[in-house]
Amino acid sequence: MFNKKVHDYFKRKTEEWYIVDFLKDCDEEPLKRKIDIYIKSLETIMNTEQESKRRDKAKVLYDNYKKASKKVFTGNKNGGVAKIC
C-alpha cells in the first residue's frame, strides 16, 4: 500500500489540472520542491487509483513532464544526448 500524500491541488476536477497553476498554488519553496511534490502526487495517483479519469490524467501529465524535462536537460528535441564541447 502506498502512504504518499497527494497535494490538495489534485482535489479539483481533472480538467483544471495544469502544472503552471499548480506551481502558483503550491506554497512550498524552492521551485525544485514544488516540482517534486507535483511529480510525486501524480505518481501516487497513478499507483494507487484504479482505472479512472484521475489516473489517466495523472499519467498524461506525468508523461508530458518527463518528455519536456528530457528535452530541456539534453537540449535535443529528439531526446538524445546533446554534444557538449
Place of cell 536537460: 73
74 Cβ partners below 8 Å, 6+ apart?
A: 80, 81, 82
- What is the pLDDT confidence band of residue 83, given thresholds at 50, 70 and 90? very low
| pLDDT tier, 43 (very low <50, low <70, confident <90, very high otherwise) | very high
Which residue has better confidence, 74 or 43?
A: 43
- Residues present in the chain in total: 85
Q: pTM for this one?
A: 0.77
